[in-house]
Structure 1
Amino acid sequence: MTTRSIGRRDGEVQAENIFASAPSNRNLEKFQNHGCKTTHCNLQVVKNCTFLFLATKPYILPAVLQQMAPAVTPKHVVISMAAGVSLQSLEELLPAGTKVLRVMLNLPCEVQSGAILLAQGSCAGEQDVALLKRLLSPCGLVEEAPESYLDIHTGLSGSGVAYVYTFAEALAEGAVKMGMPGDMAYKMAAQTLLGGAKMILETGEHPAVLRSAVCTPGGTTIHALHELEKGTLRATVMNAVEAATTRARELGKR
């Protein structure tokens, strides 16, 4: 968890009920500042908690699981946030029958506007999925999907935030070029992206339909869109999602 999302604002999860483990105090300081329990012993967390969130680098995870395994019982639900480590690999390193889920988040979870995708292992049930969704829902949109979608989600939403920031920067600097002050341009660019995204989610309309609603014959928007098409914006973005997804799959095979 990040410093902004420790505990639930609605009070359902209190900070004192969160037990965090990390090798160094530097990684635990933010939890301590918010009133969470902390330790350097992973087994201590396993023995005192039911929902176990694993937020480690993928190459470290097998060693952590081997350390935890002797204390894991049927009551535990293990949730991995590590990219590329499959449900099958997780289940093989834990006692038979362990309930395992994978979850992939993105940076805007810090401001409760994230895009979160989860996949359940062979022994996890719908009740486990429902509870995890409820726990994560204050962080943003939470959806369940087949595990094969998680790498795509990395390319779309995990890395995609960087694409959005790049576009926001270019959008604002276009306005600066035309004479608008930078501070105002960046605020307006951000609000434009926020409003456009909200309309997609709330209306359920295809983006192409909403785009057409902005265009008028011979108007400013259609002229601007023509310039974007000259720069192959859509093809470039699609290629970016493909490249990030492919890289996520490669990392998962290591």
Structure 2
Amino acid sequence: MTIKLVLAGCGNMGYAMLVGWLKSAKLKPADVFVVEPNEALRARAAALGCAVAADAGDIPSASTPAFVVLAVKPQVIREVTEAYKRLGNGATTFVSVAAGTPVATFAGILGERTPIVRCMPNTPAAIGKGMMVVFSNSLVSEATRTTVADLLSASGAVATIDDEGLMDAVTAVSGSGPAYIFHFIECLTAAAEQAGLPAETARLLAMQTVYGAASLAAESKEDPGLLRQQVTSPNGTTAAALGVLMGGDRLKTLVTEAVEAARARSVELGK
């Protein structure tokens, strides 16, 4: 069999990526070999028509896949990577979506001549609306970078950075960022209930407002700051609220401190 891509790990992120590749026809089921030790997770990959195995040792020895995508937790990434050493220092490009694990770690296991791409996704990738940021070592060709970006685009937007050190900032902004937005929805819902709205209505208003505003910002050619101004009438209700949020740069300072805390923790975890 000809294997184009080996997917190591078919948990939430791995499965979401796999579904995206197949749904967008970027890959066919026959192109993908899934390695997943969990029987239930392995079964759902098999249900999509992909070849599956519980162990990397079951990958056909005559096969040299173009890509191995490592979609496992950072806690087990080193152990999992060890199982693919035979594919290192060759034509196979390794793509990792494990947070906090630098390219040097993979090179140390797979060999210094291994093409390696490090990707930081976020949870909205599960519905094809993620933010995928990639860094590639010098052994990854331009053509391969383009192919990787195309594959990842099935899960959302793709951005490239040339300095791996910026991955800590990426983690703090887009990697952890969905949690910040979820918490804002929680807070806006609670505030709506405090203002007298029924719980179900409060939740709908908060969630749809955040969704609609984000969609408008994404689709509009206007800067978000200008969109904010367009909603804000002088001495109106929005201006009153923004006086609280923006007074003394209150919200800006809080968000900046939050991102810096996440970035600093990412640096610690990468050591």
TM-score calculated relative to the size of structure 2: 0.84
Match status 1:70 vs 2:86: yes
Corresponding residue number in structure 2 for 1:57: 73
- How many percent identity over aligned positions? 30
CA distance in 1, matches of 2:204, 2:130: 20
CA distance in 2, matches of 1:101, 1:172: 40
Q: Which of the residues 242, 249, 267 maps onto 1:225?
A: 242
So what's the TM-score if we normalise by structure 1?
A: 0.89
Decide which moves more: 147-156 or 205-214: 205-214
User: In 1, distance between residues paired with 2:116 and 2:223?
Assistant: 35
The SS at the match of 1:200 is helix
Q: Deviations 1:188-238 (Å, cap 9, x if unpaired)?
A: 322222222233333343322221121111101010111223592221111
Q: How does 1:109-188 map to 2 (within 5 A)?
A: 109-146=125-162, 147-188=164-205
Aligned to 2:268: 250
Which region of structure 1 is more displaced relative to structure 2, 219-228 or 63-72? 63-72
In the alignment, the residues of structure 2 paired with residue 244 and residue 46 of structure 1 have an alpha-carbon distance, to the nearest angstrom, of 41
- Counterpart CA distance in 2 for 1:28 and 1:18 is 13
**1:206 matched residue in structure 2:** 223
The two structures, once aligned, show a CA RMSD in angstroms of 2.2
Residues 142 and 46 of structure 1: CA distance in aligned 2, closer, same or farther (over 3 Å): farther
Unmatched segments (≥5 aa) in structure 2: 1-13
Structure 1 residue runs without a partner (length 5+): none
1:250 counterpart letter in structure 2 = E
The number of aligned residues is: 253
Q: Which amino acid aligns with 1:36?
A: C
Equivalent of residue 2 in structure 1, options 4, 15, 23: 15
| Preserved CA contact (<8 Å) 1:100 1:121 | yes
41-50 vs 72-81, which moves further: 41-50
Residue 28 of structure 2 is aligned to residue 17 of structure 1:
no
Query: Cα distance 1:65–1:120, how it changes in 2: closer, same or farther (>3 A)?
Result: same
